[in-house]
Structure 1
Amino acid sequence: MVFGGIQKSTLIDYPGKVSCVLFFSGCNFHCPFCHNPELAKGTALEQWPEQAAFDFLEKRKGFLEGVVISGGEPCLHPDVIRVCRTIWQMGYSIKLDTNGSCPNVLEKLISGGLVDYVAMDIKTVPELYPQYIQKDCNTDAITSSIGLIKASGLSHEFRTTCIRPLIDKHIVRSICGMIQGADLYVLQRFRLSRVLNPEFFKAHDYRITENDLLEYRAIAEKWVTSCRIR
């Protein structure tokens, strides 16, 4: 197992914990706004052998509290469960970042007690995934993952990067109906730099204003415990 990179220290990626981020390379989605295009394509410039990453985590015990498993899409990798178990046995708390496309793997991680916090990206309403995210997307997998996370009892958040035409107030309302009762819904600002598909932004009026974001937050606050603009 070779990781696509490591962020050695972060105070913002795992709420309330000093953590590091392990990046799994490769993704089954083709989000035009993806800000890690090399990771998504499986061509990450940085390579971290598994043992080097584990040695780093052993040395950082007592300073780091958590490890974020991110990507790419970690749940695509057959080693993700074994990797999480090894990290858990070191005594770390684990946060998983996922796109929700692999509910079977997600269920195993949750039921095995191998994750403590789950963050799932919801790109848009499921019916728009084939048009903008992945042509042959199994949209039932998205809704299944949402259900698993909500029922897990784990701390969790759902996140949406806000660009048109993937997001408007009606789509936000529909997403909130799907995640009703969630701990946290994060509306993420988008900045155009280093994206997977630059041509998309030449063809679409993608901009969403701060006033739009405030309107979306007001909608979401009626459905979820907390909504933040990030």
Structure 2
Amino acid sequence: MAIGGIQKLSLVDYPGKTCAAVFTIGCNMRCGYCHNPELVLPERYAPSLPMDALMDFFQSRVGKLDGVTISGGEPTMHDGLPDFIAKLKDMGFLVKLDTNGTNPKMLQSLIDDKMLDFVAMDIKAPLEKYSKIVARPINTDHIKQSIAIILNSSRINHEFRTTILRCQLSLDDIESMGKMTKGSKRYALQNFVPGRTLAPALANAEAYTKSEMDQAVKIMKKYAREVVVH
């Protein structure tokens, strides 16, 4: 496991829980709006944190934190992820996984082995626009499989979420993504915040207006039990 960063206390990464958040290095997507290029681009990788020191930190937080959120980058690219999660579970932590859904085999295995308590999956776009938005060839069957795995796993909490840029996603696209994830417990719409981005051309891209976001929420409420805006 290559961990490039840690947030030692977060009140927002795991809904309703106090947690630490760790960020794995490496990603198989190149979303232009990504705010963490040091976790995505090999030439900008952050130094990997020593695993022994990381586990010592978690041991010191037993009884003080509810859980650990594992984000990235894309955590499921790492073969060592199951062992890492097992160590956290042995300490008694709840575990939330943030994923882009490109590794349904590992996702299913982690759920079957009761390694996960919460899964948040990014939905980048309607399937026909996926490769364009993430700037990489994507097997959209894997995306569909991961969505189905999450929707059919009643034991765990879940959230689907989408970052919205006006130049990339229309309200019709929001409708399509709602249909893709119909029946979800929770959907988070994340309006783009201008700033440092993986693609410099998108640093000052336009987010949805309040009116547009209100419309997006109204659309998504037809398909998800709860809709939140970040």
Question: TM-score band, normalised by the shorter chain?
Answer: over 0.9
Aligned-residue identity in percent:
39
Cα distance 1:62–1:201, how it changes in 2: closer, same or farther (>3 A)?
Answer: closer
Superposition deviation, residue 2 in structure 1 = 3.3
Pairs within 5 Å for 1:1-230: 1-42=1-42, 43-153=44-154, 154-200=156-202, 206-230=206-230
Superposition deviation, residue 143 in structure 1 = 0.9
Distance 2:149 2:135 in 1: 22
Show structure 1 runs of 5+ residues with no match: none
- Partner SS for 1:95: strand
- Normalised TM-score (structure 1): 0.95
Superposition deviation, residue 17 in structure 1 = 1.0
Superposition deviation, residue 191 in structure 1 = 1.1
Decide whether the 8 Å contact of 1:5 with 1:44 is kept in 2: no
Distance 1:165 1:20 in 2: 33
Of residues 138-147 and 38-47 in structure 1, the stretch that sits farther from structure 2 once superposed is 38-47
Of residues 68-77 and 121-130 in structure 1, the stretch that sits farther from structure 2 once superposed is 121-130
Show structure 2 runs of 5+ residues with no match: none
Cα distance 1:63–1:106, how it changes in 2: closer, same or farther (>3 A)?
Answer: same
Decide whether the 8 Å contact of 2:165 with 2:192 is kept in 1: yes
Distance 1:95 1:30 in 2: 23
Decide whether the 8 Å contact of 2:100 with 2:122 is kept in 1: yes
Q: How many residues align?
A: 228
Give the counterpart letter for 2:217 in structure 1.
R
Superposition deviation, residue 208 in structure 1 = 1.6
Superposition deviation, residue 44 in structure 1 = 3.6
Superposition deviation, residue 40 in structure 1 = 1.4
Superposition deviation, residue 200 in structure 1 = 4.2
Superposed CA RMSD in Å reads 1.4
Decide whether the 8 Å contact of 2:193 with 2:207 is kept in 1: no
